[in-house]
């Protein structure tokens, strides 16, 4: 029995998981590498670059924390996790506007391509509780994300990057 | 009976506006907003309140105001609505310029922005049409048709814009205010027979 979700994001995720499971289970070993090759790069989202500040410092935590932004970084095509990739994060939080320098910080993905940065609670601004993430270095093409929280009371937000070589 | 009805209209209208402002004034979001952003938000609430009052004034539903006096106040409130919208957009622009630029260019990730921008231009056009009515001797039929079409856009765009936003307005009072805006506009247009400009034969 698949876990049922009533949200659009949940339905899409479970649908995608079901499809992926059906594909890999049913596929002969020989075509699997071809399937893996198909991992498409993440496109930038509309408005993702708004109030971006290039060169935000790598920090242990943005402000006093209490909220977690996390995600993964993988390579387009083969899906290999990318360690040591710098991801910049900012949002309108309980401690400042998106335009404020102290609302911005960066972190590096770990050996499994996972990043996680604690930051102040994101609150609705400009009508939606949302965060911003950026990959903006030389090795891969630049990607700006703008994920929206399902509820403004959420204590975390996730966003994944699939990067293609520049 | 008529006095009861008049008192009820005043009570519902002032009540819904006062409650909307009071609820927005207690929003927890205000703690994390600077004065410019707060003023911008309240200018938006004021705009919605003015859009509720406009059809009531135009159709003479507020007792104590003669239809002529009501139309006079309708013109002032129309000018006030334009000012409130400008303050709303300017305050948001000062708070986060790229988000407002995206909205004005219809390139925003948030769907409510486009509705708000449509309502803004329709309100400006409706006010401009009213301002130019006498100097340009715009024919009554043309004015009526143009002003009606534009205010319908203001109401639809403004209400959808407000309802989709997660902001300082409290959701129940916002829903009630929006429902009243739609209902009063519909009743006023119906009673003023705004559509007859399309069906009436030219003499």
Tell which B residues from 153 to 192 touch A, by Cβ distance under 8 Å.
164-167
List the domain range (segments joined by +) for residue B124: 2-199
Question: How wide is the angle at C-alpha B107 spanned by C-alphas B106 and B111, nearest 5°?
Answer: 75
Nearest to B110 among A51, A97, A127 (CB): A127
pLDDT of residue A17: 57
Strand pairing class (A161-163; A104-108): unpaired
Q: Is the pLDDT of residue B119 over 90?
A: yes
> At B137, is the secondary structure helix, strand, or coil?
coil
Task: Tell me how far apart the alpha carbons of residues A38 and A23 are, in angstroms, rounded to a whole number.
Answer: 13
Q: Are strands A67-75 and A114-119 parallel, antiparallel or unpaired?
A: antiparallel
Return the minimum-mean-pLDDT range out of B9-18, B66-75, B111-120. Answer: B66-75
Q: Under an 8 A CB cutoff, do B166 and A129 touch?
A: yes
Residue of A47, A125, A129 with shortest CB distance to B102: A47
Q: How far is B187 from chain A (nearest CA, A)?
A: 30
**Structural domains in chain B (count):** 1
pLDDT at A88 over 60: yes
pLDDT at A19: 53
Among B196, B202, B184, residue whose Cα is nearest residue B62: B184
The DSSP element (H or E) to which B14 belongs, if any, is helix B2-25
Instruction: Provide CB contacts within 8 A for A5, sequence distance 6+.
Output: A11, A13, A14
Q: Which of B109, B112, B170, B174 to mutate to test the interface with A (most CBs of A within 10 A)?
A: B109
pLDDT band at B203 (very low <50, low <70, confident <90, very high): low
What per-residue confidence (pLDDT) applies to A6?
Answer: 56
pTM of the model: 0.85
Which chain A positions have a beta carbon within 8 Å of B113's beta carbon? 127
pLDDT of residue A131 exceeding 90: yes
User: What own/partner pairs with CB < 8 Å and gap ≥ 24 does A126-131 have?
Assistant: A126/A92, A126/B92, A126/B96, A126/B99, A126/B110, A127/B110, A127/B112, A127/B113, A127/B164, A127/B165, A127/B166, A127/B167, A128/B110, A128/B166, A129/A154, A129/B166, A130/A91, A131/A69, A131/A89, A131/A90, A131/A91, A131/A157, A131/A159
Per-residue confidence band for B155, with pLDDT thresholds at 50, 70 and 90: very high
**Inter-chain CB proximity B167 and A124 less than 8 Å:** yes
Minimum distance, in Å, between the CA of residue B29 and any CA atom of chain A: 7
Q: In this predicted model, what pLDDT tens digit does every residue of A5-60 receive, in sequence order?
A: 556 555 555 555 555 554 445 444 444 554 545 899 999 999 999 999 999 999 99
Picking from B92, B96, B164, the nearest residue to A51 by CB comes out as B96
Residue recorded with tokens 């659009």: A8
**pLDDT bucket at A94, cuts 50 / 70 / 90:** very high
């Amino acid at each position: 029995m698949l876990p049922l979700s009533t949200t659009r994001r949940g339905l899409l995720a479970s649908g995608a998981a079901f499809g992926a499971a059906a594909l890999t289970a049913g596929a002969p070993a020989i075509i699997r590498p071809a399937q893996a090759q198909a991992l498409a790069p993440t496109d930038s989202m509309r408005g993702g670059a708004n109030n971006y500040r290039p060169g935000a410092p790598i920090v242990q935590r943005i402000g006093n924390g209490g909220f977690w932004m996390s995600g993964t970084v993988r390579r387009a095509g083969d899906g290999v996790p990318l360690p040591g990739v710098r991801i910049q994060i900012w949002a309108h939080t309980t401690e400042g506007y998106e335009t404020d320098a102290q609302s911005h910080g960066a972190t590096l993905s770990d050996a499994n391509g996972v990043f996680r940065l604690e930051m102040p609670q994101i609150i609705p601004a400009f009508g939606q509780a949302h965060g911003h993430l950026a990959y903006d270095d030389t090795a891969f093409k630049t990607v700006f994300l703008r994920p929206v929280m399902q509820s403004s009371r959420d204590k975390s937000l996730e966003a994944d990057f699939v990067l293609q070589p520049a | 009976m008529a006095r009861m009805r008049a008192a009820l209209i005043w009570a519902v209208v002032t009540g819904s506006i006062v409650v909307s402002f009071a609820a927005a004034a207690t929003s927890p979001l205000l703690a994390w907003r600077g004065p410019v952003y707060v003023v911008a938000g309240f200018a938006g609430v004021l705009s919605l309140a003015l859009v509720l009052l406009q059809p009531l004034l135009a159709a003479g539903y507020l007792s104590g105001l003669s239809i002529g006096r009501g139309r006079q106040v309708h013109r002032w409130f129309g000018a006030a609505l334009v000012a409130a919208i400008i303050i709303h957009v300017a305050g948001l622009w000062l708070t986060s310029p790229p988000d407002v630029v995206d909205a004005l260019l219809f390139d925003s990730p948030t769907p409510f922005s486009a509705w708000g921008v449509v309502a803004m231009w329709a309100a400006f056009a409706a006010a401009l049409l009213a301002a130019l009515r006498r100097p340009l001797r715009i024919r009554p039929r043309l004015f009526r048709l143009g002003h009606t079409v534009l205010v319908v856009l203001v109401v639809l765009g403004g209400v959808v814009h407000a309802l989709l936003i997660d902001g300082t307005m409290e959701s129940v009072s916002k829903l009630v205010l929006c429902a009243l805006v739609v209902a009063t506009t519909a009743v006023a247009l119906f009673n003023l027979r705004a559509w007859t400009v399309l069906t009436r034969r030219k003499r």
